[in-house]
Amino acid sequence: MGEMEDLSVVECARCPDLAECRSRIVNGVGPADADLLFVGEGPGANEDDQGEPFVGRSGTVLDDALRTAGLARADVRITNCVRCRPPENRDPRAAELANCREYLDREIDAVDPTVIVTLGKVPSEHLLERDVGVTGEAGDTFDTEIAGETRTVMVSVHPAATLYDRSQEATFEGTIQRAADLTGAGGQSTLGSF
Ligand code: SF4
């Protein structure tokens, strides 16, 4: 079994409500050694249908911002806090986030990214374990212990926020550019200034 398969959950019914409603478990995608790991909240309807995180309109916004920063979707890894779609797109419950945390930690530990970008309030608060104002803190980095190591987490607004509020577009694109710069991947690296 390859490393990618090791990071995939094939069967799980820890969250009865989600296991009952989902079409499939949506695992992370992208290189298992990616420098940049995006963490979203959980699958929506499109993701549940296609079996991949951040497809549909949010995925297009993310792809566009990555391209602007000199990256392709295939360069980064994308996963979620919960791997099964909550019914009617409700937020995942605390117990569901806790149930799925082991899989997320395992993925973070294996990928060992330079930067973890949390896309929206739920993943930001889940990984930083505090209240987060995503608009005010977007692009800021925080060192926090995850899966036994101190890791760099960068807060981001959710890509869908740019669809409802155009003023969030620059915030989102700026965050992705900053994350790319930190990894030295996309455009100009600013590693020298750190
Ligand atoms: S959300 Fe995670 S823990 Fe819950 S049933 Fe799905 S894979 Fe299992």
Which domain CATH number covers 35? Answer: 3.40.470.10
Tell me the three state secondary structure of residue 146. Answer: strand
Looking at the domain assignment, is residue 193 inside a domain? no
CA of 69 to the centre of ligand 1 (A): 32
Looking at the domain assignment, is residue 190 inside a domain? no
Q: What does the pLDDT read at residue 190?
A: 42
What token pair was written down for 156? 């981001």
Q: What does the pLDDT read at residue 6?
A: 78
Q: What does the pLDDT read at residue 63?
A: 98
How many Å apart are CA 119 and CA 18, to the nearest integer? 21
CA of 177 to the centre of ligand 1 (A): 31
Q: What does the pLDDT read at residue 1?
A: 41
Q: What does the pLDDT read at residue 150?
A: 98
CA of 170 to the centre of ligand 1 (A): 34
Please identify every stretch of the chain with a pLDDT value under 50, giving residue numbers as ranges: 1, 188-194
Looking at the domain assignment, is residue 119 inside a domain? yes
Q: Are 161 and 137 in contact (CB under 8 A)?
A: no
**Secondary structure letter of residue 32 according to DSSP:** T
The tally of domains found in the chain comes to 1
Spell out which residues line ligand 1, taking CB within 6 angstroms.
9, 12-15, 18-19, 25, 82-84, 96, 99-100, 103
Q: What does the pLDDT read at residue 3?
A: 52
Looking at the domain assignment, is residue 32 inside a domain? yes
Q: Which residue has the tokens 């079996």?
A: 51
- For a substitution probing ligand 1, which of 17, 84, 93, 103 has the most ligand atoms within 8 Å of its CB? 84
pTM above 0.85, yes or no: yes
Looking at the domain assignment, is residue 127 inside a domain? yes
Q: Which domain holds residue 161?
A: 2-182
**Could you count the other beta carbons within 10 Å of the beta carbon of residue 108?**
23
Looking at the domain assignment, is residue 89 inside a domain? yes
Tell me the three state secondary structure of residue 116. Answer: strand
Looking at the domain assignment, is residue 15 inside a domain? yes
Interhelix angle 56-68/167-183, nearest 10 degrees: 60
Looking at the domain assignment, is residue 21 inside a domain? yes
Tell me the three state secondary structure of residue 142. Answer: strand
Atom of ligand 1 nearest to the CA of 13: 5
Q: How many CA atoms within 13 Å lie on the side-chain side of 184?
A: 6
